[in-house]
């Protein structure tokens, strides 16, 4: 006999620091309004993201009618990976005038390969160009030819 599917009541996304999330705002209230036990979620989330140690990661949470939940960990946003690669605290406020850092095409390729499952593109070169566009919009110069 096939296992019956659970009825989904809501599905939402959050971003939290891997391995060190707390039930404090904004995470706790977002979970609570969807009927998820914040303490239980935070414990499982921190356990599964311990290796990412403070790096912001995305998470898609699916809540079922019986108040159980599942979540899928996504890779960190491209902007977070670019800031790490360039060694920056934040991007430029005026990216077309003020350049705040530099990344190489090899670094862009590594970021694109890490985000392969989540980016749209027919090949790695297309994904590298997408990441390069994000870098330019943050005021990060791209060294080398794409």
CATH number of the domain residue 108 falls in? 1.10.10.250
**What are the structure tokens assigned to 113, written together?**
């390969």
Q: Is the domain of 69 the same as that of 85?
A: no
Among 31, 58, 73, the domain boundary falls at 73
Backbone angles phi, psi at 53, to 5 degrees: 35, 75
pLDDT at 130 exceeding the cut of 70: yes
Please give the residue range of the domain that contains residue 117: 78-143
Structure tokens at 126: 């297309």
Residue 2 lies in a domain: no
CATH number for the domain that contains residue 28: 3.30.1550.10
- What pLDDT is stored for residue 3 in this prediction? 54
Residue that finishes a domain, picked among 73, 91, 109: 73
Which of 146, 103, 110 lies closest to 125 in space, CA to CA? Answer: 146
Tell which residue, 107, 98, 112, has the closest CA to residue 140.
98
- Tokens found for residue 77: 């946003």
As a whole number, mean pLDDT of residues 97-104 equals 86
pTM score above 0.85: no
- The two tokens of residue 143 are 């060294």
Q: What is the pLDDT of residues 47-83, one digit of tens each?
A: 988 888 878 888 999 988 888 889 998 888 888 889 8
Domain boundary among 28, 45, 73: 73
């Amino acid at each position: 006999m096939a296992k019956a599917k659970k009825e989904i009541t809501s599905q939402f996304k959050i971003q939290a620091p891997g391995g060190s999330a707390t039930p404090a705002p904004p995470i706790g209230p977002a979970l609570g309004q969807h009927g998820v036990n914040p303490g239980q979620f935070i414990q499982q989330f921190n356990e599964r993201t311990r290796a990412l140690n403070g790096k912001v990661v995305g998470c898609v949470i699916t809540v079922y009618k019986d108040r159980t939940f599942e979540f899928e960990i996504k890779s960190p946003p491209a902007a977070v990976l670019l800031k790490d690669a360039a060694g920056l605290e934040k991007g430029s406020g005026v990216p077309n005038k003020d350049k705040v850092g530099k990344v190489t095409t090899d670094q862009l390729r590594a970021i694109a390969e890490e985000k392969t499952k989540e980016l749209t593109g027919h090949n790695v070169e297309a994904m590298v160009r997408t990441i390069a566009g994000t870098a330019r919009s943050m005021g990060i110069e791209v060294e080398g030819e794409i």
